Amino acid sequence: MDGPLQSEVQDKYGRVAASSQLARPAGVDAVAQAFGYTATELASIPAEANLGLSCGNPTAFATLREGEVVVDLGCGGGLDVFLAAQKVGLTGRAIGIDMTAEMLELARRNAAKVGLTNVEFHAATIDRLPLADASVDCVISNCVINLAEDKPAVFREIARVLKPGGRVAISDIALKQALPDAIRQDVLAYIGCIAGAILIGDYRTGLTAAGFTEVSIIDTGADLHAYSLVNGQSGCCSPAMTEDSACCANESALVHLGLTKLAQQYDLNAYAASMRIAATRR
């Protein structure tokens, strides 16, 4: 992903990471639990690692094993990297990839808080991974591939770094039907992982073309309107308020505010869904 759209995504997520040092918006954990995380999982990691921007829990179905190497595409504050690190143990490695410097700084700071030694983080876009061919057992990702403009390139890169027989476990938004132009052209809807999503059939075709078999794409049934839990529970950045309100300084709350406003106009569940995507590299 290059150009103005990448810059806008980087800028917005950079500000989300920077604002993580402010008071966390209420409802962030409620959003994570709505998309499949348990209270126990969330309690086991630094609170700042969860930004309430997930659309699933890929570590719940990645079947990670002791000693494996797992890569998280678009690691953000490190939420899934830390959960993966617990599963692969000290003989394994959990690697986070992110293109935003502020997110990587946040992830490394969070790792230092819990003293994890089997994690590492690298700056890169997910279509150009700084990893050797056939060096990874499992690739996970959480609501990030929809942000990539060239998704076939991402799928090919995942296949390149996976060992033969390696697997993917991806939580992502995919489309049930084409989006209205008003959503598709909304930049905040893109940043919020809706406008950049592709049709379910195109997701399957893209993975198959990249060399994957046993492709499984399952609708989790999660309510996409759950993102409004941040605004609804915080009493801050409610849809009735403006983005200039003093309590809206937290960029994470602003992203949720944008999604909440979108959900007031459209039934997002009619157009898109949180998907559990699994596949095996030939």
Number of domains in the chain: 1
- Residue pair 147/172 in contact (Cβ under 8 Å)? The answer is no
pLDDT digit of tens for each residue in the chain (282 aa)?
456 788 888 998 998 888 877 767 778 999 999 999 999 999 999 999 999 999 999 999 999 999 999 999 999 999 999 999 999 999 999 999 999 999 999 999 999 999 999 999 999 999 999 999 999 999 999 999 999 999 999 999 999 999 999 999 999 999 999 999 989 988 888 988 999 999 999 999 999 999 999 999 999 999 999 988 886 444 455 444 444 444 455 677 778 787 888 888 899 999 999 999 999 999
**Among candidates 37, 24, 75, which has minimal Cα distance to 230?**
24
For residue 270, how far is the Cα from the chain centroid?
21
- Tokens, residue 238: 């409610």
CA 281 – CA 161 distance, rounded (Å): 10
**Among candidates 81, 86, 40, which has minimal Cα distance to 58?**
81
Q: What are phi and psi of 93, to 5 degrees?
A: -140, 140
Residue range of the domain that includes 134: 4-281
H-only helix segments in the chain: 4-18, 28-34, 39-43, 79-88, 101-114, 151-161, 181-184, 187-191, 200-209, 229-234, 251-265, 268-271
User: CATH number, domain at 73?
Assistant: 3.40.50.150
